[in-house]
Structure formats: structure tokens, C-alpha cells
Amino acid sequence: MNLVPRFPPLLTSYATGPANPFTVACDRARRGVDAGLLAWSIGSERLRAALVLAPETPLGQAMAGYVACAVGFQNALGATAPAETAVHLDWNGGLRLNGGHFGRINAYASTLDPKSIPDWLVVGLDVTLELGPDFEPGQTPDWTSLYHEGCGEVDPVDLLEAWARHSLVWLHDIETAQARANLHREYEGLLWKLHDETVVRLLGEVVAGKFLGVDEDFGCLVKSETGETRLLPLYRILEEAP
């Protein structure tokens, strides 16, 4: 097993040890660190990482960077996990392995105004490698881990490296129409409960209905029981920066 990840030249590795990589990345972003900082921490039970981006478009469109990193992780795990493993993305950030939650992709930004260009956007990754020693199957039926889904041989360092590589591929030329169209097509194909009944949980609101798809800025289109179609902009998944 590799002990230290090796990232592409465009990225700067920052090992945070026991500190939260999300907190470290947001703090350094506030202080003006260049885009491409990748803070990370790997323990026996969790892999956590956070990538600093510098968007050039208003937040509403810049959230494509978050989508690129989410798709990048799915591609990375899909390439390293056993062939029969199913990896999906919840629209609001959850990561699903064979249907069960095993982590999430978070996003933080310098502004919550969709019309303002953020000084920075941080995308965070949190993956459950193995559930604790007190875990008993059946206690948490909707929560799982790489180990419990037959992915125990996946090296977390290799997975982190692969996430960095795949994310950079999707981030390349992301402001162009063709790149966004390609990303949109890939993202929709990976979404959990697409064209099915779903429940979307956001800060302060729960929205239920049929998940119709995503718009050009990756917002969630939900059709309620009354027949009303509602658009949930992707920036609404943003969390308050630590």
C-alpha cells in the first residue's frame, strides 16, 4: 500500500493528519491559497479530502466544478472496485455503494449569492472505508462502507489519487459548452433515483416527488404529487464553511 498519494502537477498535496481537511482547505482558501490545493487525511475508517477551486463564473454556473469532482469520484471508484459494484450519486451530495450510503461530497464557497463569482469553491470528499468495531449488520441498514461491500482491497491512497486524476479530466475546459454537455450527460447517468420517486433533503426543507432530471446548471427537477414541477438549484446544497 502506498503511504503518501502522488497527485498530478496541477495539484498541491497537503496532509492534515487528524485535522479536518475541509476546515483546513476553507481556512487556506480564505487566506488566498492558489487553486489546486488538495488537503487530505486517511485513517483506518475514513478517507477525507478537500480540493480548492477558483471559479471564473457566477456561483450558479460554477457549481459545475462540484459536479466534476463528484463524477470524478464515481469514475475513480468504478475503475478500482470489483466489476459488479454499483456506485451512484445522490443529487444532494450522498455517495451510494450498492444502494447504501457510504459517504458524501460536500461543497463550500466564499459566497452563497448565485449571481456572484466566488473567490473560492471547496469540494470535500468523505468516504467510509470501514464501519467501527461495534457495528452490527442490520443496525444501520442504509449505511455501509467499502469493506462491507466487497471493496476492502481498494487502497485508499490509490483511490484518492484516482479521484484527483479523474476530477481534473472533468474540470478541464469546464466553462466550454461541449465540456459541460459531456459532464451533464455523465452526471445524469449516475444519479440515484433518477426518474423515480425520491426525497431531497436540504437545509430547512424536505422536497418529495418524482426526480425528472437536472437542468443545464445541474439543478434538480422534481415533480410533486400535485403535478407541479419545481427546480432546486444546485447551489442550495452548499454548506456553511467551517
Please tell me the pTM assigned to this model.
0.94
Count other Cβ atoms within 10 Å, centred on residue 130: 15
* Structural domain for 202, as ranges: 197-237
Distance of CA 36 to the CA centre of its chain: 16
Q: Is there a single domain that holds both residue 114 and residue 206?
A: no
Beta strand pairing status for 100-109 and 121-128? antiparallel
Q: What's the pLDDT band for 136 if we cut at 50, 70, 90?
A: low
The string of pLDDT tens digits covering residues 201-235 is 998 899 999 999 999 999 999 999 899 999 999 99
**Calpha distance 18→20 (Å, rounded):** 7
Phi and psi of 105, rounded to 5°? -110, 120
**Calpha distance 24→187 (Å, rounded):** 28
Vertex 212, ends 238 and 208: CA angle to 5°? 65
Which DSSP helix (H) or strand (E) runs through 26?
helix 21-30
Q: Is there a single domain that holds both residue 130 and residue 41?
A: yes
Q: Is there a single domain that holds both residue 110 and residue 229?
A: no
As for how many domains the chain has, the answer is 2
pLDDT for the residue numbered 19: 96
Q: Is there a single domain that holds both residue 158 and residue 176?
A: yes
**Calpha distance 68→196 (Å, rounded):** 23
Q: Is there a single domain that holds both residue 225 and residue 206?
A: yes
**CATH code for the domain in which residue 212 is found:** 2.30.30
Q: Which of 25-29, 66-70, 106-110, 136-140 has the lowest mean pLDDT?
A: 136-140
The string of pLDDT tens digits covering residues 50-95 is 999 999 999 999 999 999 999 999 999 999 999 889 999 999 999 9
Q: Is there a single domain that holds both residue 126 and residue 213?
A: no
Q: Is there a single domain that holds both residue 144 and residue 210?
A: no
